[in-house]
Structure 1
Amino acid sequence: MHAPAQSSPAQENPARGPGITPARVPGDRVREAPGLLSRDGAVILTGHGNTSDALVVAAALVIGDRLRELYPHRVRTSHNGGLVHLHADSFDSTVDIGGVPHRRRHPDEDHVLVQCARPAPEGGASFVLDAYAFVDGLATSDPVLYDFLTGTDVDLYGAWAGLRGLPATPRVARHVEYTRTGRRIARRTDGAVPLHRDPASEHVDRQLGRLREAVHGAEASLPRFRLAEGDILVLDNYRCRHGREAHRGERTVRILTLRSSDAR
């Protein structure tokens, strides 16, 4: 049941393209989900109750004894919502409750679960990009951007420095890195800015803009899929970026992020 958190580089198969259509796994076959998540980076669990408890149960079933930390549930309701561009869930937030620090979000959340609590009556289809395949493709199609992603430090959340709960200390990292256990991280955050007084700030800003354009440009070609009420999309957050199309009417999702023992 407890398959490795990601496939080895030889198994990533970037030649297949960066689009992912997650396999759907009903509740009576949930033991297949860890292997599919390892292979594809994403899987959809069907047949679960439309409750926040179902997210916790799904996390335990798919991640198993590698589950290390769960972060608070988030409920997102949108009314006639616009396009949500490809992104990976990542943030760094700690709050004080009764004099005790409590972490609400972690920069190294390596899995995210999204449950459709109320599907939109029109639109709202989801799409997922395999960021490993996307980055590997840049090595030949855009080596300058590839070198930037793999070789340049940025402040991951500097654009949001004024938010309460966000640490004042810059979070310095590269967009593409590896954990000590060998997992590859392919980040995507709109909060990234050049390091303070970085002499290459203009170059960094230019490459951040080019990355945004490249990611947005990839969205139209990605396969679409819809989540029915209660469906849970499970993502390897180190590997995948996800988004959704605009929709009419009201749409609600529940989100649970976590860290496994394979995370940084």
Structure 2
Amino acid sequence: MSNDLRQQPADVSLHADGPGVVPDRFPAARAHEAGASLARTGAAVLLGRDATADALVVAAAEVLGSRLAELYPQRLRTSRDGEPVHLHADSFDLTVDVGGVQRRRRDPDEDFVLVQCVRPAPAGGDSFAVDAHRVVDDLASGDPELHAFLTGVDVDLYGVWAGLRGLPAVPRVGRHVEYTRTGRRIVRRTDGAAPLHRDPDADRVQAMLARLDRAVRAMEPALPRFRLDEGDILVLDNYRCWHGRDAHTGERSVRILTLRSTDAR
């Protein structure tokens, strides 16, 4: 695809047939417009960036400006002949001791994530995303029982990983759908959710978590795909959008930056 075509914003950001999101794409000269697109659809792609850690930090500042509150350490992820990465929202709770000082490496309330393509896969590896707010709204009529679970039942958000060093011993209790004190809706999607300790409804909670997994994976094949080329940066509202990618052959590398804005919970 030519650079001229790639630099044009998409005509439709929300896929007409479902909750899939096709992010608008912004060359460097129009980066200042990305914030408005992000607010409207929850996603944007910044084009033509250097594939460097510094470029990722600069991009976060360009999009969020004075709303940028806290950055977490970047993560470089390389996969070879990678399996699919299913729809998820970035979320974790990890604290480490550095020279006797407690430092957060991840935060449960990261509200934005930037994914930079460092090396695209030779084949496959295309990205996809959904407006999770719309997914939940559709469940209200499509699967009221699952909707009631997501909006009304507490789980241990990271219980699956309870033995991991750095993860707090105190369970992080929450619901998949919650609101910040300023009214932002959070829709979580993590592989770490588990029933609360000695929850009398643990079997039902586990069954509903499995039901959510099936529902999410069932929507993935029909979602529109978009490709990130070297240096491109996908910016996502982590409270609103879930994202994933297709399987790929060869080597693919991305650099991930999660952060909290002043609007975070």
Identify the TM-score tier after normalising by the shorter chain: over 0.9
Identity %: 68
What is the identity, as a one-letter code, of the residue corresponding to 1:188? R
* Matches of 1:61 and 1:38, distance apart in 2: 14
SS in structure 1 at match of 2:196:
coil
Unaligned runs of 5+ in 1: 1-12
Q: Any residues of structure 2 matched to 1:169-184 within 5 Å, and which?
A: 169-184=170-185
Q: Any residues of structure 2 matched to 1:58-137 within 5 Å, and which?
A: 58-137=59-138
SS in structure 1 at match of 2:256:
strand
Counterpart position of 1:263: 264
- Would the aligned equivalents of 2:185 and 2:239 in 1 still touch at CA under 8 Å? yes
Deviations 1:164-203 (A, max 9, x none): 0000000000000000000000000111011111111111
- Would the aligned equivalents of 2:116 and 2:231 in 1 still touch at CA under 8 Å? yes
- Would the aligned equivalents of 2:15 and 2:21 in 1 still touch at CA under 8 Å? no
Counterpart position of 1:52: 53
* Matches of 2:210 and 2:236, distance apart in 1: 25
Task: Compute the TM-score of the two structures, normalised by the length of structure 1.
Answer: 0.94
Once the two structures are TM-superposed, the CA of residue 16 in structure 1 deviates from its matched residue by 6.5
Counterpart position of 1:19: 20
Q: Any residues of structure 2 matched to 1:159-170 within 5 Å, and which?
A: 159-170=160-171
- Would the aligned equivalents of 2:150 and 2:176 in 1 still touch at CA under 8 Å? yes
What is the identity, as a one-letter code, of the residue corresponding to 1:247? H
Structure 1 segments of 4+ aligned residues over 6 angstroms from their partners = 13-16
SS in structure 1 at match of 2:138:
helix
Unaligned runs of 5+ in 2: 1-13
Change (3 A) 1:14 1:144: farther
Counterpart position of 1:190: 191
Once the two structures are TM-superposed, the CA of residue 14 in structure 1 deviates from its matched residue by 10
* Matches of 1:15 and 1:124, distance apart in 2: 23
What is the identity, as a one-letter code, of the residue corresponding to 1:63? L
SS in structure 1 at match of 2:236:
strand
SS in structure 2 at match of 1:115:
strand
- Would the aligned equivalents of 2:158 and 2:172 in 1 still touch at CA under 8 Å? yes
- Would the aligned equivalents of 1:24 and 1:46 in 2 still touch at CA under 8 Å? yes
What is the identity, as a one-letter code, of the residue corresponding to 1:252? S
Change (3 A) 1:47 1:184: same
Change (3 A) 1:48 1:58: same
Task: Compute the TM-score of the two structures, normalised by the length of structure 2.
Answer: 0.94
* Matches of 1:140 and 1:19, distance apart in 2: 18
SS in structure 2 at match of 1:20:
coil
SS in structure 2 at match of 1:203:
helix
- Would the aligned equivalents of 1:74 and 1:255 in 2 still touch at CA under 8 Å? yes
Once the two structures are TM-superposed, the CA of residue 17 in structure 1 deviates from its matched residue by 2.6
Counterpart position of 2:211: 210
Once the two structures are TM-superposed, the CA of residue 91 in structure 1 deviates from its matched residue by 0.2
- Would the aligned equivalents of 2:115 and 2:235 in 1 still touch at CA under 8 Å? yes
Give the RMSD, CA atoms, in angstroms.
1.4
* Matches of 2:172 and 2:19, distance apart in 1: 28
- Would the aligned equivalents of 1:79 and 1:248 in 2 still touch at CA under 8 Å? yes
SS in structure 2 at match of 1:256:
strand
What is the identity, as a one-letter code, of the residue corresponding to 1:222? L
* Matches of 1:39 and 1:111, distance apart in 2: 14
Once the two structures are TM-superposed, the CA of residue 49 in structure 1 deviates from its matched residue by 1.2
